[in-house]
Structure 1
Amino acid sequence: MEELQLLATWREPLTVAGQVLLILLLAWIAQRLVTRGISRLGSRYTMLPQEVLLPLRGLLRWLIMGSALMLVLERLGVSAEVLWTALTGFAAVAAVAFFAIWSVLSNMFCALLIFSMGPFRLGDTVEVIESADKPGVKGRVLSINLFYTTLQDLSEGGEGALLQVPNSLFFQKTVRRWR
């Protein structure tokens, strides 16, 4: 009698564990079959470039594993509606935050490129050209930090003035350099 009670208390957790393992196994098999199928399509039809097949493989892999995770969490008692609401809320906040700090991140990344690639150095004279008919910003590079490059203004009437040019501008416009 005691053994039947013990079996009854463990039946539901063991059933859920078996279902979770089955979901994960089926997801793994589906992922392997899809990956193998896409690879065969790529080798059979040479007009499908690897640049398309590789992201497609990754996208389908993440879609299958994400679906499996949702099914597992649902089997463990987490509501899919709550998960979807949390996921979409997080994605919306992340998108807004990304766009809000885009210019800051862009300038920092461009500073990293300036330091590593060395399109100009301290002491060089640079000119950021607006267009063919407009004069650009011209000056001697005094300092480079994460957000701005400081130039000593060399234009007519601007002697002694300091110009702070956002680092991203050096990768958006044509730059003329003199050593």
Structure 2
Amino acid sequence: MKEHLPLWMHDWLGVIVPGAQILLVLLATRLLQMLARRLIHRGVERYDMPPELAMGLRRAVNTLLLVAATLVVLQQLGVSAGVLWGAFTGFATVGAVAFFAAWSVLSNIFCTFLIFITRPFRLYEMIELLENGEKPGLKGKVMDINLLYTTLQEPESGEGGQATSIQVPNSWFFQRGIRRWRGAHTLNH
């Protein structure tokens, strides 16, 4: 086939063919991302999953697809599998060390996913995090849940009667009891 092409194109075949293959890999990755997004959306609607879980699933699937596409593109560019495996094991080792160094942060992130799955409380509900038994603890309206903290707006008790907020580590919700007022949207004492 190379014989039928003009001479000037012979030099460019080494660039055009891998470039076209890389573009096809990127296009296929994008199509798979769109398909995954649609399937996750259907799953959320069909099984009444929380939207926060769907967002996490989309991010995880997109990350996996991008990593796979990056590996295929690197292979097309001539990076050997041995180099990729060496880099992966090196990063995995560093990741394992970082995992143990950041245990409390990872614990809070894991507890965030448990909060979204088990739903011990919801946004804008009034909750109280009990110290032990009936001893009063942290009380407030759930204003935000992020990867590390849940923000509670406390009843008006700050200076000048202003409401204050407190950020509670998500792991605390699995170490203490929770009193929940379902559907309560006010900060009454």
The two structures have a TM-score, normalised by structure 2, of: 0.48
Name the amino acid aligned to 2:15: P
Aligned match of 1:175 = none
The whole-number CA distance in structure 1 between the counterparts of 2:88 and 2:79 is 13
Name the amino acid aligned to 1:34: A
Q: Tell me the SS of whatever aligns to 2:78.
A: coil
Aligned match of 2:9 = 7
Q: CA deviation at 1:80?
A: 2.7
| Residue segments in structure 1 that go unaligned for 5+ positions in a row | 106-170, 172-179
- In structure 2, the CA distance between the partners of 1:97 and 1:61, relative to structure 1 (3 Å rule), is closer
The whole-number CA distance in structure 2 between the counterparts of 1:61 and 1:98 is 22
Q: CA deviation at 1:100?
A: 4.6
Q: CA deviation at 1:79?
A: 1.4
Contact 1:74 1:80 in 2 (8 A): yes
Q: Tell me the SS of whatever aligns to 1:78.
A: coil
**Segment drifting more, 37-46 vs 49-58:** 49-58
Aligned match of 1:167 = none
Aligned match of 2:35 = 33
Q: What does 1:158-169 correspond to in 2, within 5 Å?
A: none
The whole-number CA distance in structure 1 between the counterparts of 2:75 and 2:42 is 34
Contact 1:23 1:68 in 2 (8 A): yes
Deviation readout 1:7-31 (Å, 9 max, x if unpaired): 1111121000000001001101110
Aligned match of 1:160 = none
Contact 1:35 1:57 in 2 (8 A): yes
Match for residue 26 of structure 2 among 14, 24, 39: 24
| Residue segments in structure 2 that go unaligned for 5+ positions in a row | 106-171, 173-189
Contact 1:23 1:72 in 2 (8 A): yes
Provide the alpha-carbon RMSD of the alignment.
2.9
- In structure 2, the CA distance between the partners of 1:82 and 1:59, relative to structure 1 (3 Å rule), is same
Contact 1:70 1:80 in 2 (8 A): no
Aligned match of 1:42 = 44
Deviation readout 1:102-124 (Å, 9 max, x if unpaired): 69x9xxxxxxxxxxxxxxxxxxx
Number of matched pairs: 105
State the identity %.
42
Aligned match of 2:66 = 65
Q: Tell me the SS of whatever aligns to 1:77.
A: coil
Contact 1:38 1:53 in 2 (8 A): yes
Q: What does 1:93-104 correspond to in 2, within 5 Å?
A: 93-97=94-98, 99-100=100-101
